[in-house]
Structure 1
């Protein structure tokens, strides 16, 4: 039951974020914000995760997981309520992004802490399951655009209202999770899902370089995901693509992410954790860049699905690698460093991409960001050169 509550909470947390953020982009476009400024608006989501992920990770390492779960619920409810009441006010869109980001990072830190403290021999499966259920939320969120948009715009009030129902589900799953955590903690001094014992970690001096490389790869992949999420609505407007179709394009990427999660465990039997990160990141960058190719919309579906598969492999493997490599008493801290790196990519990537938008347009922004991500991932691979291409890492 504890695992069910955790996976439900992960699904609904992602549903709220991935449902609200594309709608914020449409709200901004309707309010007259240019495509070049969309990146700056979207970056507000990453301000708190960038600055607060590491302190929040240290809180989790000190045992304050339940507090983070409640903080996530409260923040998301406040953000979505403001967006429902004032959906086209630029100040509210800015503040909504900030508070939504706060709720997201609190929830993710708490969830990843619980998953990372699974027994070492179950780590691959635990993170695969966690990311699989999180991806279900990423898949369902953009579907809200498909049920609300009848032209190149979208009924953002309807989207935000439906996302608001999602926040109630986040609260319900969080309450169930907290009750079960406290019950198991009282029944068993060291419950399986929250216990921390693992074999001694590799010395920090030999692991730090590989940990940083894994964080870098994760960062550039999240930048690609974020740029696509932000600029695909603008790409749709530019090409006359219905908002419902844009929602389905994001859903196709989410299906790819889901497929990638399923492939993680089989691929880890063939390729090490380190090198699977690198290879999947390069493939993801190259596949996403193909969006700039002048082709029918069906081609865009294939591109986003393919890149979703590769990113769906890369992200959980990065979590597993960091959890297995970090010192046992600092797993949450290193996972939060990874989240902080992701947030840095999400904070600085979209505004920098926005500078390109003035000259290259939405498709050029997505392609340019993706190619840069592939190159950076290839360069980060030098940190893993001593590790074998075979085995489990």
Structure 2
């Protein structure tokens, strides 16, 4: 490891220089910075003499730098490459036996950082966000720190306090900002801004970051709202399309069902016509049987000797008269029933006319039935 020393003066005083008694080390708390392209920290000032031994040790016991001086050092800065936060101790020993300490100093080296970005809002701003604020102490990271927000004139605008470790999206309440303002967020430790050495700055700098805050400016929310409206419209159109497809499918199912029901109605109509025809044929057969019975009943009863019995004939005449009256009543009742049945058949036939293509079929059946009933009634009267 290379020891970099600046502002060093050396003097040789011969053998008498072994016990000067003016050794000194200055080492203060700081954050890791940069030197010669490496992450590093600095021991600000070391005064020691030739032949003495300089050692820098981490609190874990790791020695990060040690060397025997080949010349005197006066107020020399020592830069130590390291990426590890924690507590370090710089010690000047009389020799490499490390038994005689001439000077020593201890400091905490932190890992610290802060980041923020430009911000805008429609209205005056009274809150500023810091993207990241961190302070790592190397042993628990529980050291509290603050973030102080200032403007370009170093006027304090607001503060976030009691932070530890790494913090994202830190909101800092501020005094009202009504015009475009450059703000700076700085990490503070124990009421003072923490610093780190950067060779590009040739010295210590604070851990801070700046951003531009612009009130009275659209921050892009309107675009987001437009996108949300477009998404909602797209979702609504999709839902409507799905509903239309569902309704169309239901309508098709209903149409198929109605068509099947209509086919069933046609089938029922045909069955009814067949039944009506069968009933009519059965009735004609019954009428023929009745005619035969009437014909047999008109023949007078004869004695064994072939002579007609007048008394029986009179009784038969009265009986025939009564039967004739009853037959007339039955015929009228049958005619009435047949008219009602024929009327129903006529209605069914009329309904089936459009479906089966047989116009007048029901009317013909009704006329035939009525004619048959009239003939039957006339025959019974005679």
- The structure that has the greater radius of gyration is 2
Judge same fold: TM > 0.5, yes or no.
no
Q: Which of the pair is proportionally richer in helix?
A: 1
**Greater relative contact order, per chain length (Cα 8 Å cut-off, separation 6+):** 1
Task: Sort the TM-score into its range (normalised by shorter chain).
Answer: under 0.3
Q: Which of the pair is proportionally richer in strand?
A: 2
